[in-house]
Amino acid sequence: MEQAPDRDRLHLLPELIEHQRVRTTPVKASDFAMTADAPTGSATAQRLTFDDGTSLFAKIAEGGPSDYLAAEAAGLRWLREGSAAVVEPLYADDRLLVEPWIEPAEPTREHAEELGRQIAAMHAAGAERFGAPWTGYIGETFMDNGPAGPTWAEWFAAKRIEPYLRPSRDNGALDAADVAAVEALAARLPRLSGPEEPPARTHGDLWWGNVHWGGARAWMIDPAAHGGHRETDLANLRLWGGVPWLAAILAGYTEASPLAEGWEERVGLHQLFPLLVHTTLFGRAFRAQLMGIVSHFTEVS
């Protein structure tokens, strides 16, 4: 269940934590889904337990960019304007992000279908443009939210593909031929990306680890929020083995907001960004998956 905090004491949390007036217990990613996107090595995930037995969830920064937790909180607030299924940031500053403690529960079809409807509502809230007015991070990694051209295809190529090619080449994940092939595919995005749509209010990093299943509903956590293409969030739900009850999530989504014809054929295009983030961060282990998508679209285009 979600534990309701005493909001009158939230502003005291940094002092209470510093002086050990609230019990902190480390939370491992393997034990609790809400830690799934905590930046490795620069933040710890903690359960904060008060004298009355209530708990909160906290990310406590120990390095990395000075504002990435504040940026995450801003994204959560923005996304919550469109969907009640986005976890609420209760307190945030540059070194601390606090959210409700939500006990994990087994995924269910009912919650999956409702999650699909909530993702559709979030997308429908829209955005002023592709990108966002705040500094972007995916985890703690750079993410350029600046404007770039009037269409999603132009913006995605400039802000979600190109910036990750040089780092991926420099660390040995991609070679010169790989980079050239990705660049060629990026140039064809206007022909491959389907009907043009207005900017959607997107989570931006909606893989299965950023869906937290609670007893009352499924929650969206740890966003890289920005104005993007709604198909991107749905494509990312398929990554790394896929989210539980994916078909039910999609059924709920399409019931609320039908997708453009051919959207399933475009899934790989939207997965280019998270895969390039992984080649940037983790090297050649993710090359095969990335280049498999590039090869597929080279053959069909």
67-122 pLDDT, tens digit per residue, is 889 899 999 999 999 999 999 999 998 888 999 999 999 999 999 999 999 999 99
pLDDT of 211 strictly over 90? yes
Same domain, 149 and 262: yes
195 pLDDT band, cuts 50/70/90, is very high
The rounded mean pLDDT for the chain is 90
Same domain, 143 and 72: no
pLDDT of 20 strictly over 90? no
Give the residue from 100, 128, 162 where a domain finishes: 100
Please indicate, yes or no, if residue 1 is contained in any of the structural domains.
no
Identify whether the C-beta of residue 266 lies closer than 8 Å to the C-beta of residue 237: no
Please indicate, yes or no, if residue 2 is contained in any of the structural domains.
no
Q: How far apart are CA 39 and CA 254, in angstroms?
A: 33
Name, in order, each residue with C-beta under 8 angstroms of 210's C-beta and a sequence gap of 6 or more: 36, 37, 203, 220, 221, 222, 223
Same domain, 94 and 118: no
Could you give the 3-state DSSP secondary structure of residue 214?
strand
Please indicate, yes or no, if residue 49 is contained in any of the structural domains.
yes
21 pLDDT band, cuts 50/70/90, is low
Domain, as residue range, for 121: 109-300
Same domain, 30 and 113: no
24 pLDDT band, cuts 50/70/90, is confident
At 88 the pLDDT is: 96
- Which residue from 227, 287, 240, 234 is spatially nearest to 265, judged by alpha carbons? 234
